[in-house]
Amino acid sequence: MKELTYHRADDAASAVALVAADPDARFLGGGTNLVDHLKLGVTSPTTLVDVSRLPLDEVSELPDGGLRIGTNVRNSDLAAHRAVRRGWPVVARALLAGASGQIRNQATTGGNLLQRTRCVYFQDVTTPCNKREPGTGCSAIGGYGRYNAVLGASEACVTTHPSDLAVALAAVDATVVVLGPDGERRVPMSDFHRLPGDRPEQDTTLAHGELVTAVELPASAAARRSTYRKARDRASYAFALVSVAAGLELDDDGRVSDVRIAWGGVAHKPWRAEVAEAELRGRFVSEEAVRAAAEAELAAAVTDEQTAYKVPMVRNLTALTLTGLAEGATR
């Protein structure tokens, strides 16, 4: 049994100070990911700083029509929130596609963004893994790789990010509010997670001791007409093989004035499909147009015999999602 020190934080600033002062300290929120890793031996912090009781559990409307979501808002509460369902349905649907009802009752908004990969080798401490132990190698390369990334991977790591919520937040241009030893800063969702490069152990651009305190959602017509689709091995409680978060705004003549596309299950981070978006702006939505746009984005994909299925799957799912949004918009 490995001993550790437990602190229940009184406020966000003291929590940040405690973790920043100890390189082996970690924040504890809902615990749905971290506690599993403690049991598996994937991580072994000396100190846990519990931030789950901090008063960061409210959803509030912003003056510009956006929404501020506290880091401790539970996934189930966020998915059911009337303002979220009305203005950002992609966020509600992504949350409902993730995990089980029991886990959604416990998991938090901030913790969801910080969850680590479900790669079988990362979770098996008997195997080499650069993400768990930098410099030891990547067992997924040449091993069981059905879930591996097809975009943005490196020779050091080919795993994918598991979050559904993060994909939806990438699609709506969310901002992550972070408190650190030097004060507060705001990180665009597109810059929050990182590709593996030669440092796959770093999932995000956060510095040690920085605490996610909130996520802010900007209002937009594309966010109001948005949805999330997820392809998985079974109907519930399974991580995405691929997923699509999309929002759409059409001009009066039916052409695309704004489109947002983010993919899950294909990269080390939620993949914002900016090439595909550029291809679709100013055009009419059709299955052929969306497939071609997705194909342009997927030109950079690198696959093998285990992951080749992901390319047609994400292309088809993107076409299904966007044509469905367009048809709904014209009724």
DSSP codes of every residue in 46-98: SEEEE-TTSS---EEE-TTS-EEEETT-BHHHHHH-HHHHHH-HHHHHHHHTS
Give the domain CATH number at 277: 3.30.390.50
Number of domains forming the structure of the chain:
2
- Amino acid letter, 150: V
Q: Is residue 248 part of a domain?
A: yes
Q: Is the pLDDT of residue 93 over 60?
A: yes
169 close to 189: Cβ distance less than 8 angstroms: yes
Cα maximum dimension of the chain: 66
Name the helix (H) or strand (E) containing 326: helix 310-329
Sorting pLDDT into bands at 50, 70 and 90, what band is 69?
A: very high
pLDDT at 277: 98
* pLDDT confidence of residue 101: 87
Q: Is residue 13 part of a domain?
A: yes
Domain that holds residue 290: 224-326
User: Has residue 44 got a pLDDT over 70?
Assistant: yes
Q: Tell me: pLDDT of 331 over 60.
A: no
Percent of the chain with pLDDT over 90: 95
Question: What is the predicted pLDDT for the residue at 329?
Answer: 65
Summarize the confidence of residues 187-199 as an average pLDDT.
98
| Residue at which a domain ends, from 35, 50, 65 | 50
Average confidence (pLDDT) over 122-134: 97
| 209 within some domain | no
CA distance 141 to 138: 6
CATH code for position 37? 3.30.43.10
Q: Does some domain include residue 120?
A: no
Tens-digit pLDDT profile for residues 297-310: 999 999 999 999 99
For 133-184, the pLDDT digits (tens) are: 999 999 999 999 999 999 999 999 999 999 999 999 999 999 999 999 999 9
Q: Does residue 213 surpass a pLDDT of 70?
A: yes
In a domain, 301, yes or no: yes
Average pLDDT (6-10) is: 95
